[in-house]
Amino acid sequence: MSTSDKYKRQIMNDLASGNQETLSDDANLDNYQNFDDFAQRSSRDERHQLFKRSFHPERVSAEQMEPELKQAISKIKPNERDDVARDFLAQLKKRDLSDRDLEQRLGLSTRHPKRMKEDDVSKLAAFAYRNHPDIFQEVLADQPAIIKFLSNPLVGAAMGAIASKWFGGRR
């Protein structure tokens, strides 16, 4: 059995047995029924704090994350994808990276968020993940729909603390 299979099995066993990690005393996640409920009703600050504590880009390489991002972005609604692109561009602009520069540098089909294809948004997300992980976390906090579709076991483990907290008391 490969290390990856063992790791996946361990994650699933931990989640199935209800192993819980305490995020903080002030994180009141018990008020949410599932991830969608959390994404819709939580505050941006609450999401930001939880993602910052639970999601560590240094634990998942860009090579592992990029295909996951591409898959996740392909599954979100087109209007959410536009919002994700707009947020990445706005955050990157604060770092003096213009939309024109990013269009050329990343080989985007356009610099306009509404006209961007899935591949363009994936390139922006991967660029932010590799070069500006803080921006990546900011956009996740603003656009949590992406998280729902990430399936890599390492990514799942990073979010496992949140999932175990939600489902720990609901057997």
Whether residue 99 is contained in a domain is answered as yes
Whether residue 52 is contained in a domain is answered as yes
Q: Above 60 in pLDDT, residue 26?
A: no
Q: What distance in Å separates the CA atoms of residue 135 and residue 3, rounded to the nearest whole number?
A: 31
Q: Above 70 in pLDDT, residue 98?
A: yes
| Mean pLDDT along residues 135-143 | 86
Q: Above 80 in pLDDT, residue 74?
A: yes
Whether residue 3 is contained in a domain is answered as no
Residues 47 and 138 sit within 8 Å (Cβ to Cβ)? no
Domain containing 65 equals 31-168
Instruction: Count the domains in the chain.
Output: 1
Whether residue 162 is contained in a domain is answered as yes
- DSSP letters for 115-164: G--HHHHHHHHHHHHHH-HHHHHHHHHH-THHHHT---HHHHHHHHHHHH
Window from 10-14, 75-79, 124-128, 165-169 with minimum mean pLDDT: 165-169
Q: Please state the pTM of the whole predicted model.
A: 0.69
Whether residue 6 is contained in a domain is answered as no
| Mean pLDDT along residues 18-23 | 48
